[in-house]
Structure 1
Amino acid sequence: MSKIKKLYKENIYGIIGTLCFHILLVSSFLLAEVNLKGEVKEEPIILDFTDMEELEEPVVEELAEEKEDENTPANETEQTQASSRSNQAVNDAPMKDPFFDEEYQKEIAEAQKLVADVNKQLAKEVKQLEEFAMPEETTEGMDPDSIKNTIYSGESNIHYFLENRYHLRLPIPVYLAQGGGLVVVDIVVNPRGKVIQAEVRKNANLKDPMLEVYAKQAAERTVFNTDKSAPAQQKGTISYTFVAQ
């Protein structure tokens, strides 16, 4: 027991020093582990695509050039032939369609013929109204005292008034009309018997506007006897009674 005490006294400082060293070593390890766990930092990841872009661009351009070469005809002749084949296909398509059968083609031909006939009729010269012939009442060789100023043509009649004058030629337009009604025309006649002016009086009861046209034409064609003593412009009237045909 005395030996142990003696050894203890001799080595007490060494033992204490050793313990302190180990305590400090353990403490430093613990502190180092805490720092490692608590101070972990995340660093950003940077990806560099510069090299990849430089490599991809030539590839894209090469593909575009190859595609353009494929779509471009080898020469102008090939392009023309391709266009011709396309147009021929379009032109031939309707003929192969069941809808465009023989009956349809027949109707088209008839329609084209009808259009041609209409154009042919329209191309013909249209006669002017002045060229239409009218029957006339003449008094050539008659006694002026026996000439009446009212002329009957069937159920229609023409009556004129021109003081001290009688007609030599009196056109009768009633045969041209389909409708009926009374048309009065104011006339102006020169000494030679020519009608130099004719104006139709408006009649709201007329349903056929052509009656006025025919009456005016007939009045302008009327010829009266010559009277040198007559006024330069002698006024009168001609009345046309049309009966519906």
Structure 2
Amino acid sequence: MGILVSRRQFWVAMTITLALHAAILFVLSVQPLRSESVPSNQFVSVDFIDESSMEELEEQSFEEVIQSRLNEQVANLAANEGAERSGDRRSSASEMQGLSQSVEAELRAMEKAEFERLASEQKEFDLAGVPNDGANDDIRTLTEWDKRYDGQVTVSYILEGRMHRTLPVPGYKCQVAGTVSIVIKVSNDGRVSSAKIFDVTVFDALGQPKLESEADNCIARAALESARASIFDAAVVETTEGRLNYRFLAQK
């Protein structure tokens, strides 16, 4: 009795499937024909049953047949999704390469714009008021800047219990020679927390010493900037007071 019920359910399912297919074919047949074929991705899935497999299908229950069809559809969907993900990975790699090239181009443009800005400002670099000798007005690279503004300077310091780690030599463009003494306070981490001009001596064209104020002195500004950037060894004490001494030779 159970076998007859299973066969009856199977044939009912087959009848419904064939009826649906017939209805779809009828709708397609009554549509008007077009003069040109239009490519389309739409399709109708039609299942064909081989007579040789009828006996095997008859032995299966209605639920088993439906489950088998569902498993095939799931496998096809998984395969399609894997192919789409592979294409997405290729697209992502191409996008990353394009982004890298775009960033590199922007950095080059920023570098060029910065040098153009510095050139338009006559390369003052915090040395406002420094006489312009008219040499090498067109500075395009940092290497050219270093060659122009590195002068002959000696640096010495007095700081009890501390050794220097970084002792910058001032880069400057001054047409005078002289000495600058700066009083500094160094914190326990080794950085300069305070720097003040203690004494400035400049020499005129005849080599005679001449006192000038800090605001009007080129070498004083250069020494003060270098002193603030100096770094010494760390120590347990909170603050150590000392002195930095700079000796400048005139630029020619």
TM-score when normalising by structure 1: 0.36
> Which has more helix, going by share of residues?
1
TM-score when normalising by structure 2: 0.35
Larger Rg: 1
